[in-house]
Amino acid sequence: MRILMLASEAVPLAKTGGLADVAGALPVELARLGHEVQLALPRYAGIEPQAADLRQTATMAVPFRGGSVRVGIETGTLENKAVSLICIRYDPFFGRGGLYGEEGRDYPDNLERFVLFCRAVLEACRRRDQPPDVLHAHDWQTALAVVYLKTLYRTDPAWAKTRALFTIHNVGYQGHFPVTSYEITGLPRSEYTPAKMEFYGKVNLLKGGLVHADLLNTVSPTYAREIQTSEFGYGLEGVLQGRKDRLFGVINGIDTKVWDPATDPHLPAHYSPEDLSGKKACKQALQREMKLPSRDVPLIGLISRLAFQKGIDLIVDILPKLLELDVQMVVLGSGEPQYHADLTDLRARYSDKLAVHLGFHDPLAHRIEAGADLMLMPSRYEPCGLTQLYSLRYGTVPVVRRTGGLADTVVPYLPASSSQETATGFTFVLPGPEVFLSTVLLALQVYRDKEEWLRLVRRGMQQDFSWQRSAKQYVELYERTLALKTESLHHSPYSFHRPWFGGRWTA
């Protein structure tokens, strides 16, 4: 199959979160399965051309705001030419310090930026001879590509056969813009209705993708169910319920080459489930790097966007009590200014126990995954979560809230039950500080039983979250989009009765 994948970030070129890990690794795995994949990204200033052999191969005029804009088309390849890359270069929009904003504030022209990106990709990849079979878009930033495919380009012979899969990585980020900016999308008025892109008086890009895609998926079966409820749907639960027969859950994989404690170039020592001695060396090196006393105490990690979604307020809440104990904690994160301030205060109060690095630092993320004993993820919601998957692979036991992908990937340790034979971490349900703290305390108690802890660590390290299985599920979804009858696509979008999400695709 020919797959055109659009994303707003992808490793190794641009990253703010897990989307980049997915958009970087999935195309490579699809190529390995024999498919032809082209990945489209905006050409951000921070992208290093040599990382993908990028060079400008053309310029082209792209329809934009009633006129046109000339953009550069840069092409390159990833992973030994397995995946071809196309970047849209327009420096006034993408030649900036951030991907979506700076200093915690979104760029005010994000609508213009992603309208231009989506439109330019459709213009640049228009091939009558070999059109893509499937256009696969991710999140609100690229949702418009799906909308354009099904509206402006619907009668274009170059795109007539291309089907669309839309992946929701986070329904909490929808791309809302004021109605007064609707004309920037270049779409007809008929798209701005409550059944389509209108959302409480605003333009909602994510909703456009949800309504128009042939099939939808999100990044775990549990989250696929959760977003159909008002607690998790962020107002789109009705739309998602309406399309539930076309909504699937595919758990993310991880790049087991980039995240491998046996070879990771960011680590001072290496280890495997058979020989964990290197993990100890990683812990000691992390204590030195983060200027914590070199002591044999439980080292707790947190690597996170500092956002409400991630339950950072719960962390801030329990830290004073937790740090009364003989433990250490290392925090790596960036995000909302209030959490930066809270964590800076706490560090000043507990400087011999708490180390905080505010900012984005990928090598340090690897070293914390390796050096910590426990990893905290008390997320309010978590579509999939990759941090806990890396933790499992690095023998760092996750303590997570039982939601979304966390519920699908961490098997809870329940005291006095046979679950201990399958457990890989600790989980709690209610998003409150008391339960969270008592779950961390339970983990610390088990930590003291060295043999039990070692079993837990090894079991986690032996879990298989490689991309292979998930990439095959994506291929099945692509095949399903191709099998859909044209009439059903156009006239009866809800007639595909296969309630697939749920148990079937759990990891």
The site partner of 360 among ligand ADP, ligand GLC, none (C-beta below 5 to 8 Å per kind) is ligand ADP
In the chain the first and final C-alpha atoms are separated, in Å, by 25
Shortest Å, Cβ 305 to ligand ADP: 4
CA 106 – CA 186 distance, rounded (Å) = 22
Q: Does 304 bind ligand ADP (CB under 6 A)?
A: yes
Shortest Å, Cβ 334 to ligand ADP: 5
The site partner of 219 among ligand ADP, ligand GLC, none (C-beta below 5 to 8 Å per kind) is ligand GLC
Q: Which is nearer to ligand ADP, 305 or 393 (CB)?
A: 305
Q: Are 14 and 20 in contact (CB under 8 A)?
A: yes
The site partner of 365 among ligand ADP, ligand GLC, none (C-beta below 5 to 8 Å per kind) is ligand ADP
35: Cβ–Cβ under 8 A, 6 or more apart, which residues? Answer: 1, 2, 3, 475
Nearest to 214 by CA among 251, 190, 247: 247
Q: Does 340 bind ligand ADP (CB under 6 A)?
A: no
496: Cβ–Cβ under 8 A, 6 or more apart, which residues? Answer: 245, 246, 484, 488
Give the binding site for ligand GLC (CB under 6 A): 17-19, 22, 169-170, 219, 252, 382-386, 405
Shortest Å, Cβ 448 to ligand GLC: 31
Q: Does 18 bind ligand ADP (CB under 6 A)?
A: yes
Q: Are 298 and 328 in contact (CB under 8 A)?
A: yes
Over the window 376 to 415, marking each residue x when it contacts ligand ADP by CB under 6 A and - when it does not, the resulting string is --------xxxx----------------------------
355 - beta bridge partners? 330
Shortest Å, Cβ 379 to ligand GLC: 8
CA 118 – CA 122 distance, rounded (Å) = 6
Ordered DSSP codes for 31-74: HHTT-EEEEEEE--TT--GGGTT-EEEEEEEEEETTEEEEEEEE
As a dihedral over the C-alpha atoms of residue 97, residue 102, residue 106, residue 107, rounded to 10 degrees, the angle is: -40
Q: Which is nearer to ligand ADP, 304 or 396 (CB)?
A: 304
Over the window 247 to 266, marking each residue x when it contacts ligand ADP by CB under 6 A and - when it does not, the resulting string is --------------------
Q: Which is nearer to ligand GLC, 18 or 412 (CB)?
A: 18
Residue that the structure tokens 């999140």 belong to:
139
Give me the numbers of helices (H) and strands (E) for the chain, helices first please: 17, 20
The site partner of 251 among ligand ADP, ligand GLC, none (C-beta below 5 to 8 Å per kind) is none
CA 27 – CA 36 distance, rounded (Å) = 9
The site partner of 334 among ligand GLC, ligand ADP, none (C-beta below 5 to 8 Å per kind) is ligand ADP
The site partner of 303 among ligand GLC, ligand ADP, none (C-beta below 5 to 8 Å per kind) is ligand ADP
Q: Are 121 and 115 in contact (CB under 8 A)?
A: no
Q: Does 362 bind ligand ADP (CB under 6 A)?
A: yes
Q: Which is nearer to ligand ADP, 132 or 311 (CB)?
A: 311
Residues that bind ligand ADP (CB under 6 A): 17-19, 21, 303-305, 332-334, 360-362, 365, 384-387
